[in-house]
Amino acid sequence: MADLPGIVVTGVSGRMGRMLARAVEESDRARLIGALERPGHDWIGQDLGTATGGAPLGVTVGDDPLEAFARAHAVLDFTAPEATVAFAEIAAQARLCHVIGTTGFDEAQLARIKAAARHATVIRAGNMSLGVNLLVQLTRRVAAALDADFDIEIVEAHHRHKVDAPSGTALMLGAAAAEGRGVHLSEAADRARDGMTGARARGAIGFHAVRGGDIVGEHEVLFAAEGERIALRHVATDRMIFARGALKAALWGQDQGPGEYDMVDVLGLSAA
Ligand SMILES: NC(=O)C1=CN([C@@H]2O[C@H](COP(=O)(O)OP(=O)(O)OC[C@H]3O[C@@H](n4cnc5c(N)ncnc54)[C@H](O)[C@@H]3O)[C@@H](O)[C@H]2O)C=CC1
Ligand SMILES: O=C(O)C1=N[C@H](C(=O)O)C[C@H](O)C1
Residues 142 and 178 occupy one common structural domain:
yes
Q: What is the distance between the alpha carbons of residues 182 and 191, in angstroms, rounded to a whole number?
A: 19
Mark whether 101 and 180 lie in a shared domain: no
Question: Among the atoms of ligand 1, which is closest to the Cα of residue 103?
Answer: 39
Under the banding of pLDDT at 50, 70 and 90, the label for residue 270 is confident
Q: Relative to the CA of 167, which ligand 1 atom is closest? A: 41
Reported ipTM: the value is: 0.99
Reported as a single tens digit per residue, the pLDDT across 82-109 is: 999 999 999 999 999 999 999 999 999 9
Together in a domain, 263 and 227 = no
Is 92 in the same domain as 192?
Answer: no
On whether residue 262 sits in a domain, the answer given is yes
169 C-beta closer than 6 A to ligand 2? yes
Cβ neighbors of 120 (< 8 A, separation 6 or more) are 88, 91, 92, 94, 95, 96, 97, 98, 258
What is the set of active-site residues?
A: 158, 162
Ligand 1 centroid to Cα of residue 102, in Å, is 6
Q: How far does the centroid of ligand 1 lie from the alpha carbon of residue 136, in Å? A: 23
Q: Which atom of ligand 2 is nearest to the CA of 162?
A: 1
Q: Contact, 24 vs 76, CB < 8 A?
A: yes
Give the pairing type, strands 121-124 and 151-158: unpaired
Domain assignment of residue 167, yes or no? yes
Helix boundaries (H) for 182-222: 185-188
Range of the domain at 256: 6-124+239-267
Q: Which of 79, 154, 159, 167 to mutate to test the pocket of ligand 2 (most atoms within 8 A of CB)?
A: 167
Both 99 and 208 in one domain: the answer is no
Pick out the residues of the known binding site for NADP(+): 38
Task: Write out pLDDT tens, residues 166-175.
Answer: 999 999 999 9
For residues 92 and 51, give the distance between their C-alpha atoms in angstroms, rounded to a whole number: 30
Q: Which ligand is nearest to the CA of 172?
A: 2
Do 120 and 14 share a structural domain? yes
Distance 256 CA to ligand 1 centre (A): 25
Helix (H) or strand (E) holding 173: helix 168-181
Could you report the per-residue pLDDT of 189-208, keeping only the tens digit for each?
A: 999 899 999 999 999 999 99
**Tens of pLDDT, residues 234-255:** 999 999 999 999 999 999 999 9
Instruction: Say yes or no: 96 and 139 in one domain.
Output: no
Instruction: Assess if residue 222 is contained within a domain.
Output: yes
Report if residue 145 sits inside a domain: yes
Please tell me the number of the ligand nearest to residue 62's CA: 1
Whether residues 203 and 120 fall in one domain = no
Instruction: Report the distance separating Cα 244 and Cα 239, nearest Å.
Output: 9
Report the predicted TM-score, pTM, of the whole model to 2 decimal places.
0.98
Are 112 and 145 contained in the same domain? no
Residue 59 included in any domain? yes
Report if residue 175 sits inside a domain.
Answer: yes
Q: Flag whether 272 is in a domain.
A: no
What pLDDT sits at residue 192?
A: 85
Distance of CA 171 to the CA centre of its chain: 11
The structural domain count of the chain equals 2
Q: Based on the domain organization, do 141 and 219 belong to the same domain?
A: yes
Whether 226 and 244 share a structural domain: no
| Mutation pick for ligand 1 pocket among 43, 66, 79 (CB with most ligand atoms within 8 Å) | 79
CATH value at residue 58: 3.40.50.720
Q: Does residue 12 sit within a domain? A: yes
Are both 114 and 210 inside the same structural domain?
Answer: no
Instruction: Say yes or no to pLDDT of 1 above 80.
Output: no
Query: Domain of 199: which CATH number?
Result: 3.30.360.10
In this structure, what are the phi and psi dihedrals at residue 185, rounded to the nearest 5 degrees?
-60, -35
